[in-house]
A and B are shown apart, each in its own frame.
Chain A
């Protein structure tokens, strides 16, 4: 069918890499007998054609430093999976991590060094020439100001740059658009230490987040999500329980929508609330308060609930209730960050929350100082501001930029300042905003192509090794720096020398071990460094500063997957609907219905936001998940350069922000702006259908009390019973299908593959969706087609708000919807050609090469999980091409690339099932529970998905399928799904969900 691309095409691409030979000699597919088979000269020892090899390395998509295992087929990286050895992500991965290979094989990567010529345009230059010119520049710039700007780099590379800079009399500076200055300032204010602690979400009994979006972007999302699901998910053990999670913030983020309760405090008053709670705890002696808390008495006295309730905008008894719950849980963990740490009074808020943790006894147990999260060592925004002014003042003769794109996140100031710099060099892989303004671009290798390491926190050194041949004529910046520094050897040697310094005896063993495990990890987590209240704690000021500007409060928040914009050129991330708004491919502004009504605004109408610093237009998304007096805008879009997927797409929210440094040396992400309706309108690209579940058993929710009352064998969810007379016809039919399907025979009894999805674990982070795109060669269809509901997402996340009596959302329930592999499937009997049919192992098979595309199966599918190829998304140079070279190299050779006119859907990663069966057969055994792991299950950071054989009485999935919380979606239709959903449990009386 589509071997044209499925195989031969990326073989063609492959010859770029020189690994092409491998691929050609591999798969043995491709009909023309004229096709050439090119053998290896020397057989790589660790690769077997047709069999995947895994290499451990480190994900560099953010600073968290998760360990990954890269699946290599015939020299191509085809998939990233979490590395179970890594203590950070424990084998799990987020959507951004999954999409890293789209950075590796991105069609917009720079293929060679570029230099700005006399006429001001870029032209190609060879490496040696470039480096010669550059070393001349370096010599010339000595003493005239030499700066090397990097991203968050706690790594040997960082060290190397530091060494070189000291050698040439320059300085290195690191920059993260969403820095953590407030955390450090707040910690200093409260405890006199500017380091970042580690947070133990897994063992918390009560969670309270003041704006910290620890599930989407804050510090180490995968690690935190994994911990969060351990404490917050309903645990049916005895005593059955879960940690309640309360979110305080002006809008519901991905993190916020997983809360059991939402306290929409007035923006900037989060700290006041924290202090008020502390006051209650102390005055009511709700916890064993440390002695030195007495020095806070003055501060707390000023923050009685009565005094501050008005300011915060909630009733005082709510404050008292929260404080009581928090303290009585004997394991309360409060975190402050995200929005709360980006107000002008952010530091005060963080300090206040520290105080709350302190009086409740969380410090030292759940909040442990001494871990020194690397991200904390990043330079502050103040440093960048001073750099900017230096540049503007012409005090910088030579500027290097690596792993950062300040021209995008500081559109005005930095852009202009760049112009004043003598010579600007970028190591970016793309011609992004910053690179485009530079004089020389020396494209760096992709992290998957080069050596490196990173030290996300004390006790963890993650190693990074090249897993594929370089795709283009790029060079590791480390090598370039060494050359410029006139030092011998490559960066690999430098790296090893660094590591050798750490371990003298039998280094090779140590090194090989590190390579295999993806780094070295301290066995025991670093011990907590005890902290006392600092003198400054008494003077904590949490009063919300009044900002000048328009009459409307606007908060700018990092996009969960595009983050500060670095993900914007990866089609997977662009096409991935935002977990909260479900909007893809463009930016938006969140408006509360009341506000919208006031302004006569409807979803899709453009709103012009004019702040003192800039003006931008955003289409409105009307939602109750934001405060009525607040507008919220995500970053990430609105690139003026960077690549075909990112460029000229919607608006850049950074434009609205000021560049002046606030009290704690950070940047303020909340501005006052005027909002005016422009009259323009656009159709929002959203996958959201009806946001309310109509009570037809699509999702089920239980209150905690109810869930605790459940016993084995209970069936809390009522759905239509099959009448007696229909039992055989309906119930028996599925089984008979099953037997009939046994054409020929498998060994022994047939398995019945099944899935269990625990909704009280699922956070809706959408990592599974991207993993599915990666594993199953799903096409990205782009903005225009997605607008017409033609996205190919086999797995979609349905987000249904849970609302209180007043209709205010109190969190949401997220339900991954994918093919249910019905035992009694409506799609099967209607297919005229048996393309949709029942396999002996209980799957709803979909034979792509048999499908003629009548689409009857989809019409008859009550779950609507079948997707049709309206165009040939694999057509070379076609209008809808989803894998422009070399993106096609990440296609999974084990999965057919579907051609136009064919129906496709989830098949429980049947290629993995068959692979495991083949391996098992080679070893003369049957497939064991756990041999097969679907892509979604593998990546799920909260471990909500379990795959296995429902006929195996000892499998985990069998056990979960019998859980009293279990239910089948639309069970009333008697489709007998193979997927069991476990109802979400909320730590409050069951809210209505429509």
Chain B
């Protein structure tokens, strides 16, 4: 990659911040449109009640919680790629981690909405927060929902700080290229970064520690989320396997979405030189690994259900595979169990189009995984044979879900247009040392 000099990197990436095209506005418009749908649906829910959604006794959690877990899951790859791989000093992450991180922050922002939307009396959501009051009432710290609150809260704070910190040098870089209001904006957000050695030393140290701090969160957050289910006695939920199972699944889905997002970005912003095929291949490998862990979890689940000899457990998993929801379950088994195995072949791993398609199926599969775990386990109700129902989502469920995608992509699109979607400084780190002339050119900006 002779052409790829420091200067080239800066300019190419800075170019992504150039005047938005019609296509961009089209995308942004549709995202905002979807968000609108979500907001209107929400207003209806507030006015008339959750009855508008498809819930039916005993399926009291459904699409909303599915989406919640789905988005939390998405959030994971970001921190994994940016923090863990950083600690492992894997150079290839540099080109992709910014996107992943942004994705993380916005995904958590999306996920965080669902617990508020899905409760019956949304206007009392603050009762879930521990605040001193004259009545002497506190939330129940035994409840996994309260653990969630803290886990998600922490994760959001840390990953946001992490993203912003990583941005500082790059903002400085684009600041020097920018003009007009953007110059002012970057001027402030760059926090007076000059690129002095002193600053670099502190920066790298701080970044390292922050990475170390963020790493355990990757494991903790989804473990806690998984306990929403594992702590309950519902067959199909009540399993010690859940924490690792969910974390793996989360990363699997996260990496999936990273690919889904990177492919178009790379194309639209002509970043082929910077985000290369090797990057994708590495992501694919990560997919393969986590995907295999997930499939292993499926096998274990079913094996344990059989091996335990517990009638309810067996009933639950039988219902899952051959009950009225067989289609959902098999979508999940195929998309998450079989599909990743295609990635054993290097041909597939290095074929961007194939990866793109696969990544989409990964996301579908993972959404259905949560759907199956939540809805099907509840609908099966193997304890009380009298109380079972078949649940069907309604427009309200889809409306809110659409809104969540709108909300996510709106933020993401705004981000990639206003901040470097690929880390300028860190890409440079992994470039061959430049020739003198270019060095001056590059140094001017770096």
- A binding-site residues for B, Cβ under 8 Å: 687-690, 692-696, 698, 785, 788-791, 796, 798, 817, 826, 829-834, 850-856, 858-860, 862-864, 867-872, 879-880, 899-903, 970, 973
**A320, chain B: closest CB distance, angstroms:** 39
A901 touches B234 (CB 8 A): no
The distance in angstroms between the C-alpha atoms of A864 and B59, with both chains bound, is 10
The distance in angstroms between the C-alpha atoms of A900 and B384, with both chains bound, is 26
**A205, chain B: closest CB distance, angstroms:** 34
The distance in angstroms between the C-alpha atoms of A854 and B64, with both chains bound, is 12
Other-chain residue from B143, B234, B386 in contact with A798 (beta carbon distance below 8 A): B386
Contacts A689-B388, A690-B385; is A859 near B51 (CB within 8 Å)? no
Q: Which residues of B from 41 to 78 have beta carbons under 8 Å from A?
A: 48-51, 54-58, 60-61
Q: Is B9 an interface residue (CB 8 A)?
A: no
The distance in angstroms between the C-alpha atoms of A857 and B218, with both chains bound, is 28
Known: A698-B385, A831-B140, A864-B386. 6 other contacts (CB 8 A): A695-B311, A785-B51, A829-B142, A850-B137, A851-B120, A852-B128
The distance in angstroms between the C-alpha atoms of A798 and B19, with both chains bound, is 67
B232 touches A826 (CB 8 A): yes
Q: Is B181 an interface residue (CB 8 A)?
A: no
Q: Is B119 an interface residue (CB 8 A)?
A: yes
A690 touches B386 (CB 8 A): yes
Q: Please name 25 pairs of A and B residues whose Cβ atoms are closer than 8 Å in the assembled complex, sorted by A.
A: A689-B381, A689-B384, A689-B387, A689-B388, A693-B385, A694-B385, A696-B312, A696-B382, A826-B232, A830-B144, A833-B139, A833-B140, A852-B119, A854-B119, A858-B57, A860-B234, A863-B383, A864-B384, A864-B386, A872-B48, A899-B121, A900-B120, A900-B121, A901-B49, A901-B121
B385 touches A692 (CB 8 A): yes
Other-chain residue from A690, A693, A790, A863 in contact with B51 (beta carbon distance below 8 A): A790
Residues of chain A with a CB closer than 8 A to B61's CB: 855-856, 859
The distance in angstroms between the C-alpha atoms of A788 and B394, with both chains bound, is 12
Contacts A698-B384, A852-B125, A900-B49; is A859 near B232 (CB within 8 Å)? yes
A830 touches B231 (CB 8 A): yes
The distance in angstroms between the C-alpha atoms of A814 and B122, with both chains bound, is 39
**B443, chain A: closest CB distance, angstroms:** 55
The distance in angstroms between the C-alpha atoms of A257 and B225, with both chains bound, is 47
The distance in angstroms between the C-alpha atoms of A829 and B61, with both chains bound, is 18
Q: Is B146 an interface residue (CB 8 A)?
A: yes
A851 touches B143 (CB 8 A): no
The distance in angstroms between the C-alpha atoms of A798 and B385, with both chains bound, is 9
The distance in angstroms between the C-alpha atoms of A851 and B50, with both chains bound, is 15
Q: Interface readout for B134-152 with A: 1 if CB under 8 Å, 0 if not? A: 0001111011111000000
Which of the four size classes fits the interface of chain B?
35 or more
The distance in angstroms between the C-alpha atoms of A252 and B58, with both chains bound, is 29
Residues of chain B with a CB closer than 8 A to A798's CB: 386
**A931, chain B: closest CB distance, angstroms:** 31
- B binding-site residues for A, Cβ under 8 Å: 48-51, 54-58, 60-61, 115, 118-122, 124-125, 127-128, 137-140, 142-146, 228, 231-234, 311-312, 315, 378, 381-389
Residues of chain A with a CB closer than 8 A to B60's CB: 855, 858-859, 868
Other-chain residue from A688, A696, A864, A868 in contact with B120 (beta carbon distance below 8 A): A868
The distance in angstroms between the C-alpha atoms of A855 and B145, with both chains bound, is 11
Contacts A833-B140, A853-B50; is A696 near B385 (CB within 8 Å)? yes
Residues of chain B with a CB closer than 8 A to A831's CB: 140, 143
Residues of chain B with a CB closer than 8 A to A830's CB: 142-145, 231-232
Residues of chain B with a CB closer than 8 A to A856's CB: 61, 143, 145, 228, 232
Q: Which residue of B lies closest to A690 (CB)?
A: B385
The distance in angstroms between the C-alpha atoms of A859 and B139, with both chains bound, is 19
A864 touches B381 (CB 8 A): yes
**B139, chain A: closest CB distance, angstroms:** 5
8 nearest CB pairs, A to B: A853-B120, A901-B120, A870-B51, A864-B387, A855-B60, A901-B121, A900-B49, A690-B385
**A580, chain B: closest CB distance, angstroms:** 15
Contacts A832-B140, A854-B119; is A788 near B386 (CB within 8 Å)? no
A790 touches B57 (CB 8 A): yes
The distance in angstroms between the C-alpha atoms of A564 and B383, with both chains bound, is 38
**A693, chain B: closest CB distance, angstroms:** 6
B145 touches A854 (CB 8 A): yes
**A627, chain B: closest CB distance, angstroms:** 26
Q: Which residue of A lies closest to B145 (CB)?
A: A832
Q: Which residue of B lies closest to A696 (CB)?
A: B311
B121 touches A690 (CB 8 A): no
The distance in angstroms between the C-alpha atoms of A817 and B387, with both chains bound, is 10
Residues of chain A with a CB closer than 8 A to B389's CB: 689, 788-789
B49 touches A862 (CB 8 A): no
B120 touches A855 (CB 8 A): yes
Residues of chain B with a CB closer than 8 A to A785's CB: 51
Residues of chain A with a CB closer than 8 A to B381's CB: 689, 864
Residues of chain B with a CB closer than 8 A to A834's CB: 137-140
Q: Which residue of A lies closest to B388 (CB)?
A: A689
Contacts A834-B140, A852-B119; is A858 near B58 (CB within 8 Å)? yes
